[in-house]
Amino acid sequence: MPALALAFDVGGTSVRGAAVGAADVVIAESRVATRTGPAVLDDIARMGEGLLAGLSPAARAEVAGVGVAFPGLVDAEAGISRRAVNLGLVDTLVAAPLAERLGLPVTVVHDTAAAAGAIWEDAGSPASAFVAVLGTGVAAVTYVGGRAILGVSGQAGEIGHLVVDPAGPRCGCGLRGCVEAYVGARAMLERYASLGGDTRVSGVAELVARAEYDRLAAEVWSAAITALADGFLAVGALLAPGEIILGGGVAEARRALLDPLQARMRERAGVTAVPPVRLSALGGRAGLVGAARLALAAVRAKP
């Protein structure tokens, strides 16, 4: 049975592509800046063609399918992006044109579902967990009894748009003080620059490193920790999950995120029980790994 897949994770700032093999090993990887409209689909197809061309003939023969983790409202069964506001797409075919370009079956999944599913499985599929994906956007999936609870919209878990400070910075959704307006990767970098920080800082890892000696970077990072702590305490009060598991690119800050986050949650908990928090080993690869797993599962499910 072929055991490789091409996987794509369409994020707010970049599109990542990879050839993913057995045991979730990334064999080859590429990245381009995210473009809007039909251009994003052309970019995915070009990346796929490049990844396939870079594989050995033997490895190329093992590629069974393509998984695309896509933002917004996704009709996975039809392979359609129903609405992706940031990409400027409405009722747009995704699976069919990519399958035609790449000559492989294409599975389209919601980006949070793909990443959270991989994180949850990698964590041992706990019966009760709140899995948060921290990247350009901030979202989550709740697992109860070993099942994902997605709500009637299929998008339950939008913790990124939970308001923690009504007087806070404007979020991309139009509200003020959302968790994402503090914790989202792009939001942190924009806030740092607006405060007068070094505009050459281009990534969260660099921002976190600078927080050791840069007052403005420390201010932005501390505000992100506080917003995330308040959001998770609300989750704890409402859902009482067995644990919170963190993945996504921002979670690659590792102990610089986890230690102050746990301390801030304890400081601000009041009577709310503080759920345990741990980090996923997948980090920013979660979306790619999840898309690859789902693509291979779809191929294997076909008679």
Q: What is the pLDDT of residues 220-244, one digit of tens each?
A: 999 999 999 999 999 999 999 999 9
> Does 302 score more than 90 pLDDT?
no
pTM over 0.85: yes
Name the one residue in this structure whose structure tokens are 């990245």. 31
Residue 116, judged by CB atoms within 10 A of its CB (0-12, 13-18, 19+), counts as buried
Does the CA dihedral 145-263-220-15 come out positive or negative?
A: negative
> Does 161 score more than 60 pLDDT?
yes
The helix (run of H) or strand (run of E) holding residue 54 is helix 39-54
CA distances from 88 to 39, 71, 112, 155 (A): 10, 11, 19, 19
Tell me, what's the pLDDT at 1?
A: 55
Percent of the chain with pLDDT strictly greater than 90: 89
What are the structural domains of the chain? 4-115+285-301 (3.30.420.40), 124-279 (3.30.420.40)
Q: Whole-angstrom Cα distance, residue 211 to residue 194?
A: 16
Helix and strand numbers, DSSP H then E, in the chain: 10, 13
